Amino acid sequence: MAKITSGLGTSHIPLLGYLMDKGESHLEKWAPIFKGYEFTKKWIREQKPDVVILVYNDHATTFDMKLIPTFAIGCGESYRPADEGYGARPVPLVKGAPKLAWHVAESVILQGFDLTIVNEMTVDHGLTVPLSMVFGEVEEWPCQVIPLAVNTVVYPAPTGERCLALGKAIRAAVEQFPDDLTVQVWGTGGMSHQLLGERAGLINREWDLAFMDDLKNDYEKLAKISQVEYIRESGTEGSEMVMWLIMRGALNHEVQEVHRHYHVPVSNTALGHLIYENASQESEEEKAL
């Protein structure tokens, strides 16, 4: 049976991909950013996930104002990195996991989630930057990817409660899948940032760190944060953080935080990153007693 073993949260800041693509990620001045992913690169080589369900938002790249899906799941065979205006990132083609993706889509739709199924699309920095930060510069991505695009561009984004519940539904779906697969769920985006208006440049370090603290055990509390509160506290674009709740919902209640990284600023944004491993099956069962 397929199994979700771990999850991670990470910002998907375009600058990070840009620096890697230009070969500048090793420069001393960027060390405070990239050092925080060194653990991750080792960790992922041990974890060897077969499939990553990668939760991200499209930034007016593949979806425009004609059509705005709240949740779109990629069921395609592969996805090309998008040209976001400077040519496509020189990173490998993203291989899909269509059989598992269709299974998850079918299962969560029957569980009452109104997904949009996507079979053909390009993927922007929201998806490819996390792959680069975790896997580094590779000839091909060492796993299959199921893109899960969440609308965070047009108000309203799905609520935190909805995102958490979707994560739980995804977990149930994956656990019913007959193939032996190691699956990870990644939540991306954030942390605090504000890209427009007089208030541009807002960063709320305290809020971000509290979010990372609460995500481990008090995620039900985080799920109650409204988009208005995200905007007020962490900037208009800070509301991307709901996507981390999908990841959290897909994990066991008991998780171990095995890594954390926080750095301000990266261009206009606070960078956050953490890794959770599911506590062993045993301790979950204990909890149920």
Which region, judged by CB under 8 A, interacts with its own copies, from 7-15, 53-61, 68-76, 270-278? 68-76
Does 69 participate in binding another protein (rule CB under 8 A)? no
Integer Cα distance of 275 and 148 in angstroms: 19
- Return the number of the residue (62 or 252) whose C-beta is nearest another protein: 62
- Return the number of the residue (109 or 209) whose C-beta is nearest its own copies: 109
Backbone angles phi, psi at 88, to 5 degrees: -70, 150
- Asked whether the beta carbons of 243 and 189 are under 8 A apart, the reply is yes
- Return the number of the residue (75 or 143) whose C-beta is nearest its own copies: 75
Q: Select which of 59, 103, 193, 261 is catalytic.
A: 193
Does 198 participate in binding another protein (rule CB under 8 A)? yes
Type and span of the H or E element at 173: helix 160-175
Using CA atoms, how far residue 208 sits from 46, 106, 190, 226, 255, in Å, is 29, 34, 9, 15, 19
Binding another protein (rule: CB under 8 A), the pick from 133, 146, 212, 270 is 270
Does 28 participate in binding another protein (rule CB under 8 A)? no
Binding another protein (rule: CB under 8 A), the pick from 154, 218, 257, 286 is 154
Minimum distance of another protein from residue 117's CB (angstroms): 8
Minimum distance of its own copies from residue 157's CB (angstroms): 8
**Amino acid at site 109:** I
Helix (H, G, I), strand (E, B) or coil at 193: strand
Integer Cα distance of 164 and 146 in angstroms: 18
Binding its own copies (rule: CB under 8 A), the pick from 22, 23, 28, 114 is 114
**CB contact burial 271-283 (16+ within 10 A = b; e otherwise):** bbbbbbbbbeeee
Positions marked catalytic: 125, 193
